[in-house]
Structure 1
Amino acid sequence: MTEMASGNGAATAMSKVLSSDGTAIAFERVGQGPALILVGGALSHRALPGMVELTGLLSRHFTVVNYDRRGRGDSGDREPYAVEREIEDLDAMINMVGGSASVWGISSGGVLALKAAAHGLAINKLALYEPPFVAGGSGRRPPADHQERLTRLVAAGRRSEAAAYFMTKVVGVPSVLVAAMRLLPRWSRLKAVANTLPYDAAVMGDYSLPVRQLGLITVPTLVMAGERSPAVRRQAARELTEAVPTARHRPLEEQNHNVSMKALAPVLVEYFKD
């Protein structure tokens, strides 16, 4: 794993590191202090406003690595996709910052971080915001063939339709709201990374808690959920906390799945600096 460009602890330009399969993974490294790597969820990338804002807030306390997961932004991609390749990408980020790091992940990015921790990556501490499991046998599940349908839409070049399918059939956003979203400038940013939606589907599987895998995690883990999020999200956070032997739960007041980075950052600073 070779770093193709490097920073010096202050704000840096985009750099790249080679993952184990030779894929170039783009990142920015900002700030000084202990290393903290951010893992975005579905339709997220390092230039997303929320990721940029959180990077700035945390860089006052940490060396923050904000990276493009494979297939997104300035990162490369290579077929066939496998979740193991994304774990290797995160491992490349950890090696780049010195061989160990703390990790924060949101939504399906949090699930990827969990799988990396279970795999034994050198993660010091782990923090997660609302990994979107469907817990307790209740709650709405995506269609059983959602990964296949997303893959077909992407292969046909129908990224906008893939993003709309994901929002309506997987996330559960009402169709009328998605129709309105498609008229906004933000939709073009979502469409640009919709090719990776099958990857997040692979990370999530059938959305059940992988209890056996979670039991392998030995690093301190903070599981967060917004108090205004749907009950299924809050229940999933509680059940996830019970499944990870080293986890503790932290609700965030006045927050939902679209968490305010200004509300989130102080919690992360307190946790990772403890």
Structure 2
Amino acid sequence: MTENITSKDGTTLAVDTIGQGAPVILVGGAFNDRSTVAGLGAELAPAFTVVTYDRRGRVASDDKSDDYRVANEVDDLAAVIEHVGGRASAFGHSSGAVLVLEGAMRGLPIDRVAVYEPPYCADENQPRPAADIYDRLTALVAAGDRDGAVELFLHEAVGVPAEAIAGMKAGEGWAFLADKAPSLPYDVLVSAPWQVMPFDRLAAVGVPVLAVYGDQTAPNLAEGTKAVAAAVPGAELQVMPGEDHGVLQRPAALAQLLAKFLG
């Protein structure tokens, strides 16, 4: 069932709800919308009320703000929590993982937090994008250059080689990526990959946290996940054999982990 709810600044968010049980909100990362977490939601629905939504500026959700701010998306998550009764657990993938952690750090009524491969920079010696990536991304989006914005994000924020991006542009999936380009500044803003992750703020998180990564993923994503587990008091770390950042395409094993943690 899809419903439209209104966030603090008047932005309309498209929200899907399935299943029954304690509410769990699933939050996708860059280039994701509620369709990309739907498979995971279907796996969890027998035991939980699963809530998915299009983050602002994507697909069926608009963006009424006059600027990109992390607070906008935290307000959106708060609105979704309120929509499902005022309390919920949350799972986030990639930049969605950082967003749900941000919600917990800012005191939203989240009971339990599960994250998969948050793209934090765990060590100042790690390769990371230049600090002006956000400004360059917003300039490309403002100019209507969606292809350019996607290329910049993939190359500098994700580390995809230029030749691989050229191959992606020739594929049928590029239009799906380009459609999400206006929301990419939110992904880099919340993750802030040009700076080292906020260890002190994570150490103040007072709810149970499960941090998960795949053993076939990029080293920086594994390190970021391990650093979250080390920073949050009492957090649990899980490694998924044979998995990488594309775990949402194969959700069954992840759903088993989440069900055990959230149950």
Are the equivalent residues in 2 in contact too, given 1:41–1:105 (CA < 8 A)?
yes
Please list, as runs of the form range in 1=range in 2, the aligned pairs for 1:38-187 lying within 5 A after superposition.
38-48=26-36, 51-78=37-64, 79-187=66-174
- 1:27–1:215 distance in 2 versus 1, CA, 3 Å: same
Q: Distance in 1 between matches of 2:11 and 2:71?
A: 13
Q: Distance in 2 between matches of 1:134 and 1:81?
A: 21
What's the counterpart of residue 265 of structure 1? 255
Q: Taking every aligned residue pair, what percent have the same amino acid on both sides?
A: 40
Query: How far apart are residue 229 of structure 1 and its match?
Result: 1.4
AA aligned to 1:93 is V
Query: Structure 1 regions of 5+ residues with no counterpart?
Result: 1-11
Q: Distance in 1 between matches of 2:125 and 2:242?
A: 24
* 1:188-245 Cα shifts (integer Å, max 9, x gaps): 1110111111111111123421012112210000001111112222222221111111
Please list, as runs of the form range in 1=range in 2, the aligned pairs for 1:17-36 lying within 5 A after superposition.
17-36=5-24
- 1:227–1:63 distance in 2 versus 1, CA, 3 Å: same
AA aligned to 2:109 is A
Q: Distance in 2 between matches of 1:30 and 1:268?
A: 16
AA aligned to 2:61 is S
Are the equivalent residues in 2 in contact too, given 1:132–1:207 (CA < 8 A)?
no
What's the counterpart of residue 209 of structure 1? 197
Give 3-state SS (helix, strand or coil) of 2:15's partner: strand
C-alpha RMSD of the superposition: 1.2
Q: Does 1:230 align with 2:215?
A: no
> Would you say how many aligned residue pairs link Structure 1 and Structure 2?
259
Q: Distance in 1 between matches of 2:31 and 2:45?
A: 23
Query: Structure 2 regions of 5+ residues with no counterpart?
Result: none
Q: TM-score, normalised by structure 1?
A: 0.91
Q: Which moved more, 1:152-161 or 1:39-48?
A: 39-48
Q: Distance in 2 between matches of 1:47 and 1:207?
A: 31
Are the equivalent residues in 2 in contact too, given 1:72–1:193 (CA < 8 A)?
yes
Q: Distance in 1 between matches of 2:51 and 2:79?
A: 12
What's the counterpart of residue 7 of structure 1? none
Are the equivalent residues in 2 in contact too, given 1:36–1:104 (CA < 8 A)?
yes
Higher relative contact order (CA 8 A, sep 6+): 2
Q: TM-score, normalised by structure 2?
A: 0.95
Instruction: Give structure 1 regions of 4+ aligned residues with deviation exceeding 3 angstroms.
Output: none
Are the equivalent residues in 1 in contact too, given 2:30–2:184 (CA < 8 A)?
yes
Q: Distance in 1 between matches of 2:228 and 2:238?
A: 12
